[in-house]
Chains A and B, each alone.
Chain A
Amino acid sequence: MNGLHDMGGLQGYGPVQIQANEPLFHGEWERRALGVTVAMGASGLWNIDLARSARESLPPLDYVQGPYYAIWTQALQNLLIERGLITAEELAQGQPITQPMAGVRVLKAAEVDAALAKGSPADRPSTQAPRFAVGQRVRALNLNPQGHTRLPRYVRGHVGTVVLHHGSHVLPDQHVNKMLPPFDGTAEHLYTVVFDGTELWGPQAEAGHQVSVDAWESYLEPASEAAPE
C-alpha cells in the first residue's frame, strides 16, 4: 500500500529532533503499551506483517501525527476487535460485556524470557534455487499493490546490484493473506540490493552515497543492458 508509512525520500519533515538523555519511555502509558503489545503478540492470532499492516492502515494523519506507541496501541485495538477478542463497546466502557473467546494462548510471566530469547525467525528451508546471484544487476519492479508490501516506493523501477543473499524468508505480501492462523508462510529468496544515490535521486543526490533495501525475489527482475531510463 502506498501509505504515509512509506517515508523514504519524502521532504519537508524538518531536522531530526534529538532529545539528549532521552528516557526509554515517555510516561507510564508508553511502558504499558509496549508490554501489552508484545504480550498480546504471543497469542499467535496475528503475525508481524499483519501487525505492520494494521499500523499502516490507520488513518494517514493519525499515523504521522501520533506518538509511535499510540500507533501501536490503536493498531492493537483494531487487531483485537477484528478477531472478536474484544468489542468496541467493551473498550468504551472499560469492562467485559461478552464472554471471552476460548482457546486464546496467554503468555505467562514465567514464559517471557524464553519467548523473547526465541523470537520469530523468518527464514524457511527452500528447494528452489535462487534466481539471482551476488553481483548481479537487478531492477526493482514497479509494483503498487493495494495490500501490505515491503518494497519501498523510492526504489521501484530502479536498477541496483545484489550484494547479499539471505536464503529464503517468509514473504510479507502473502503473510497477510489470512487473518487467522495457520498463516500463509510462503517464502522466497531474500536479497540485499544496493542502489547508487544518483540512480535513486538523480542530479540532486549527495556525493558518494548508496542505499540498500532487502528485497524478496518477486520484487526484482534481471536488469537488461538496454534498461529504459
Chain B
Amino acid sequence: MKRESTAPHGHVHDQDHDHAHSTLGEMDLRVRALETLLTQKGYLDPAAVDRIIETYEVHVGPHNGAKVVARAWADPAFRDWLLQDATAAIASMDYTGRQGEHMVAVPNSPDTHNMVVCTLCSCYPWPVLGLPPVWYKSAAYRSRAVIEPRAVLADFGVTLPPGQNIRVWDSTAEVRYLVLPERPAGTEGWSQEQLAQLVTRDAMIGTGLALNPQDITKEAP
C-alpha cells in the first residue's frame, strides 16, 4: 500500500516516485491553466491569490497559537477566559476568522492528554496554527487517531506517563480545537516571549508536548 512506503524522506508525496513526478508535472499545468482561465474570464484577481498565499506563508501560523498558549501559562485570568470562551479570548489577540470562527481550548493535565483530528477531511484552526501539515490530512493519521491514539503518538516519539488518559477531539463541525499543553517545569519567571518558544505546532495539536527549557538555545530572547 502506497502510504506504507519507507521512502527516505517519509513524505506522502515521495511514496511512489513515478506517480509523484507525473502528478507534479500534471498538477503544475492543471493549476496554472485553471488560474489563467478564471482570470481571463474575469472571475479571479491573481493579486488576491498572492495575498491569500502571503497571509498563510508569513502572517498566520503556529507562532500565533504559541503566543496564545504562552499568555495562558503566564496569566491565570487569560487562561480562565481562554477555557471559558476561547473564541473571544483568541479574538482579543486579533487571531480571528476563516477556520477559527468557533474555538475551544482543551487543557492538558497530569490526568488527561488531548489530541485533535479531523477524520472526515482536514479541519484545523487556521488563525492560530496556519495551514495543516501533510500528515494531519493523511489517511494514516485520520484513520488511526481515533482507534489507536497511543500508537499514533509513538509515531511522533511521544510516550505518555502510565495512567494518563487520552482524549481525542474529532473536529466534525465548525468548532476548532486548540490543545493547551502543560507548562514545562523550570520556566518560573519566564516572559511570554520566552515561553512562546517552547510551544510547538504539534504540542497544540496534541501530537507533541511543549519543549523543555534545555531544548531551546540560550541566545533566545
Contact = CB atoms under 8 A, between A and B. Distances in A.
Interface of A: 5-19, 22, 24-29, 31-36, 38-40, 43, 48, 52, 55-56, 64-70, 73, 76-77, 80, 85-86, 90-91, 94-96, 100-101, 104, 106-109, 111-113, 115-123, 150-152, 154, 164, 166, 169-170, 172, 190, 192, 194, 200-201, 205-206, 208-216
Interface stretch (B71-79, B127-135, B189-197, B213-221): B127-135
B175 A214 contact: yes
B120 A36 contact: no
A24 B130 contact: yes
A206 B135 contact: no
Interface residues of B, number: 92
A200 B31 contact: no
Nearest to A48: B174
19 contacts: A7-B142, A10-B143, A16-B138, A22-B11, A26-B134, A27-B27, A36-B38, A36-B44, A80-B38, A96-B37, A96-B41, A104-B43, A107-B45, A109-B45, A119-B96, A122-B102, A169-B174, A194-B167, A212-B168
A208 to B, nearest CB: 4
Contacts of A112: 48, 51-52, 55
6 tightest CB-CB pairs across the interface, nearest first?
A14-B4, A8-B119, A35-B49, A214-B173, A109-B47, A119-B97
B172 A91 contact: no
B173 A90 contact: no
Interface in B120-152: 120-122, 130-131, 133-135, 137-152
A164 B41 CA distance: 46
A66 B28 CA distance: 14
Nearest to B61: A24
Contact of B134 (A22, A118, A213): A22
B211 interface: no
A35 B52 contact: yes
A32 B11 contact: no
B182 interface: no
Given A73-B31, A119-B96, A215 B172 contact: yes
A188 to B, nearest CB: 10
A29 B31 CA distance: 6
A86 B102 contact: no
B150 A8 contact: no
A162 B4 CA distance: 37
A120 B142 CA distance: 25
A166 B175 contact: yes
Given A36-B49, A212-B169, A19 B28 contact: no
A211 B114 CA distance: 10
Given A35-B50, A208-B164, A209-B149, A19 B102 contact: no
B48 A111 contact: yes
Nearest to B137: A68
A174 B120 CA distance: 17
Contacts of B174: 48, 121-122, 169-170
Given A67-B13, A109-B51, A24 B3 contact: no
B55 to A, nearest CB: 6
A166 B102 contact: yes
Nearest to A14: B4
B135 A16 contact: yes
A16 B30 CA distance: 29
Nearest to B131: A24
A169 B139 CA distance: 28
